[in-house]
Amino acid sequence: MNESLSGAPLLAVRGLTKTFKERRGWPIPKTVAVRALDGVSFDVARSEALGIVGESGCGKSTVARACLRLITPDAGSVRFDGIDVAAASAAALRALRRRLQIVFQDPASALDPRQRISDALGESIKVHGIASGNDVTAAVLRLLDEVGLPPSAARRYPHEFSGGQRQRIGIARALALGPDLVFADEPVSALDVSVQAQILVLLDELRHRRELAFVFISHDLGVVRHFCQRVAVMYLGRIVEEGPVPAIFEEPLHPYTRLLKSSSPIPDPAQAVALDLQEGEPPSPVDPPSGCHFHPRCPFVMERCKVTAPELKEVAPGRRVACYLFSDASGNGAGAVAARQ
C-alpha cells in the first residue's frame, strides 16, 4: 500500500465499521443509527506520525477508540504488530495496552482532580509491574523531566498547572508504560498558539527519541502538516483521501480536501482564505447522502456520484483517493479539476 511500509506495518486497520444506535426524539423516541465508521482502512509504520483530519462528526475520534478497543467495532480488523486487537484475551489486551496509549484533548478532564501527579503517573507503572517501591518515584521523576516539568510537580495536583503543563502531564502518563504507538486526539486544540508550539516540539522530540508512532487526530491542517508524515482525510465515516504530507497539502486531489485546504486561514492577507458565500452544511451522519457522502457539496458532482460511492484507489505511489474524477485509468481527473479552478 505504501513503499515506506514494505515491512509489516505496526498498526494495520482494515474495513473498520461502527454504527451507534441512539434513541432520539420526543415525545415518541425513535431509534436512529449513526454510522460513525464505514469501512476505514489504513496502516501506520513504526515511528511514523499519521494524521487523521476531518470536521466534527466525521468519525476521527471513533477510529482511535475502536483501535484501542475502548469500543467494539461492528466489523473490520485491527492488527497491532501482528496481534489481532479485537480477538485478544484479557491478559493479552493488558499487554497490548502497555504498547498502545492515548493522549486526550482536554487534560483537565482526563486527570483525576484529587490525585497527585506522582500517583497519576505512578499508578499504571505499579499496575503493570514495571517498577515498585522507590523505583516508581524515580520513574515518575524521569517522566516529568522528559516532558519538561520540574521534579516538584510530582507532589502537586492537576488544578495547580496551566493548560500546557497539564497536557505535558497527559503526555507523561501516556509515556509511562513505554508505548510504541500513541493515539493523540486533538492534543493541542485547547491550547494557545505559543503553548501549542511547545507541545508540538515536545511530541516531535519524543517521536524521534523513543521511535514512537503516532495517530494524530486533528481538525487543524496546519498542525497536521507540521507534525505528520502521512495524512488521511475523513468525511462522514469514510477516508476520502490518503497520502504523504507534503504532496497532499501541495496538491490535494479530492474536492473535500481542496475545500478543507482553501478554508484553512493563512496569516497572510495576500493569500487570505477564500470567503465565498458558498452554502453547504456538512450533512448529519445520522442520514448521510447516498453514494459519495460529499456529493451535495461537491462542485464536480456527476450522476454516478449520487448512486454509488467511489472506492479508495491508488492514484500515485502511496496516494489513495476516493473520487470518480481520479479513478479512471485515463487519469484526466486532475486536468478536469485544474480546469475548473
Partner 1 sequence: MSVAADLATGAASQPDPAGPSLIVEQLTTSIRIERQWFDAVRDVSFEVHPRETLALVGESGCGKSLTALSVMGLLPEGVGRISSGRITVDGTDMTAASAAEAQAMRGDRIGMIFQEPMTSLNPVLPVGFQIAESLVEHRGMSRRQARQRALALMELVRIPAAAQRLDAYAHQFSGGMRQRVMIAIALACSPKVLIADEPTTALDVTIQAQVLALLADLQRREGLAVLLITHNLGVVAAVADRVIVMYGGDVVESAPVSEFFARPTHPYSEALLAAMPRVDRSADALAPIPGQVPTLPDLPPGCRFQSRCPLRIDRCAELPPLIPLAAAPAHGVRCWVRAP
Closest distance of CB 208 from partner 1, Å: 13
The residues that touch partner 1, with contacts defined as CB under 8 A, are: 55-56, 162, 164-165, 192-198, 200-201, 219-223, 225-227, 246, 249, 259-282, 284
CB-wise, 76 or 107, nearer to partner 1? Answer: 107
Closest distance of CB 81 from partner 1, Å: 28
CB-wise, 98 or 219, nearer to partner 1? Answer: 219
All three cell numbers of 91: 491478559
Closest distance of CB 288 from partner 1, Å: 14
Closest distance of CB 202 from partner 1, Å: 9
CB-wise, 246 or 317, nearer to partner 1? Answer: 246
Closest distance of CB 171 from partner 1, Å: 15
